[in-house]
């Protein structure tokens, strides 16, 4: 594969965790990767780790103008956009009665609004070429997983699942595939923070809190970010050309619907 015919892939929230793993996994396939993140240094570090023709972009996916700038910059640099992975997301651990309007707005601004307008803007690049893969990172929280970090987060991820299905139906006429991945317990920095909060609240060690999070998983192991990355790479591959409108749980069997 030459640089000219390599896939071009934009990953949001690529500075850490699942997003970084996805960016690196695509780079290993020979793709030209754009690592986008609100943290410019983290984006640059991910792009450097990806090597090759990777580029870094600072972007706030809660800002529609910034989304437009991000996608325009990537398309101009790479010549076109084949794949977008809408991964950027935020949350915090909170009981439903303790959530505030600020919490709701912050999570939905990034997790729901951000995914929608990134999807829409990327589709504008893909439609004229009649090809493209859109991959949204949702969560089993959107499936009703009782161990979710909070209700507002669950609602935002439920929105991503519904958006994925409707977007797939409406963009199929343009030969675009739209799918979602619903990670389960995945040991990222964000999840580690939530586990630490739980440990402090319950008066147990962090290791005990991690063990408690893993115990309900039938396969008895949490995800590594690479597990999510592998599914993203598959959904962008020729083998997934006839898959669209699907939301795949990657969770060790924790949720079965």
Domain ranges (residues) in the chain? 8-184+224-249, 187-222
Q: In the chain, what is the straight-line distance between the N-terminal and C-terminal CA atoms, in Å?
A: 38
Q: What pLDDT does residue 135 have?
A: 99
Convert 160-174 to b/e letters by CB count within 10 Å (16 or more is b): bbebbbebbeebeee
Give 32's strand partners.
8
Phi, psi values for residue 32, rounded to 5° = -95, 120
Q: What pLDDT does residue 180 have?
A: 98
Query: Is the backbone of residue 249 left (phi > 0), alpha (psi -120 to 50) or beta?
Result: beta
- How is 178-197 classified by DSSP, letter by letter? EEEEEE-SB-SHHHHHHHHH
Q: What pLDDT does residue 3 have?
A: 45
Q: What pLDDT does residue 188 have?
A: 86
**CATH code for the part of the protein at 8-184+224-249:** 3.40.50.720
Could you give the C-alpha distances from 122 to 75, 168, 181, in angstroms and in order? 9, 14, 18
Catalytic residues: 153
Secondary structure (3-state) at 140: helix
Q: What pLDDT does residue 1 have?
A: 42
d(Cα 231, Cα 249) in Å, to the nearest integer? 10
Q: Is the pTM of this model over 0.75?
A: yes
Task: Identify whether the C-beta of residue 103 lies closer than 8 Å to the C-beta of residue 152.
Answer: yes
Q: What pLDDT does residue 16 have?
A: 96
Secondary structure (3-state) at 231: helix
Look up residue 55 and give its two tokens: 């580029």
d(Cα 36, Cα 215) in Å, to the nearest integer? 34
Phi, psi values for residue 224, rounded to 5° = -95, 150
Phi, psi values for residue 203, rounded to 5° = 70, 35
Per-residue pLDDT of the chain (257 residues; tens, 9 = 90+): 444 468 999 999 999 999 999 999 999 999 999 999 999 999 999 999 999 889 999 999 999 999 999 999 999 999 999 999 999 999 999 999 999 999 999 999 999 999 999 999 999 999 999 999 999 999 999 999 999 999 999 999 999 999 999 999 999 999 999 999 999 999 888 888 888 888 998 999 988 988 988 999 999 999 999 999 999 999 999 999 999 999 999 999 999 88
CA-based nearest residue to 84, from 46, 128, 36: 36
d(Cα 253, Cα 257) in Å, to the nearest integer? 10
DSSP assignment letter at 248 = E
Residue whose pair of structure tokens reads 């909170």 in the numeric block: 94
With vertex at residue 153, the alpha carbon angle to CA 148 and CA 155, rounded to the nearest 5 degrees, is 105
């Amino acid at each position: 594969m030459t640089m000219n015919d390599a896939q071009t892939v934009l990953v949001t929230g690529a500075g850490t965790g699942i997003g970084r793993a996805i960016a690196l996994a695509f780079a290993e396939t020979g793709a030209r990767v754009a690592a986008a993140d609100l943290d410019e240094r983290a984006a640059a570090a991910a792009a450097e780790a990806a090597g090759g023709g990777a580029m870094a972009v600072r972007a706030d996916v809660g800002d529609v103008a910034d989304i437009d700038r991000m996608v325009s910059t990537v398309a101009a640099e790479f010549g076109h956009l084949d794949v977008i992975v809408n991964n950027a997301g935020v949350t915090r651990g909170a009981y439903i009665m303790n959530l505030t309007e600020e919490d709701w707005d912050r999570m939905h601004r990034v997790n729901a609004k951000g995914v929608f307008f990134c999807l829409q803007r990327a589709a504008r690049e893909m439609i004229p070429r009649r090809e493209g893969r859109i991959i949204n990172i949702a969560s089993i929280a959107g499936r009703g997983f009782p161990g979710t970090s909070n209700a507002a987060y669950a609602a935002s991820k439920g929105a991503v699942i519904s958006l994925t299905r409707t977007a797939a139906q409406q963009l199929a006429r343009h030969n675009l595939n739209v799918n979602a991945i619903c990670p389960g317990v995945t040991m990222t920095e964000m999840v580690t923070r939530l586990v630490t909060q739980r440990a402090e609240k319950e008066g147990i060690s962090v290791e005990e809190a991690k063990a408690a999070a893993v115990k309900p998983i039938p396969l008895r192991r949490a995800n590594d970010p690479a597990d999510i990355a592998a599914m993203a790479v598959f959904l962008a591959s020729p083998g997934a050309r006839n898959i669209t409108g699907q939301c795949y749980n990657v969770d060790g069997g924790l949720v079965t619907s």
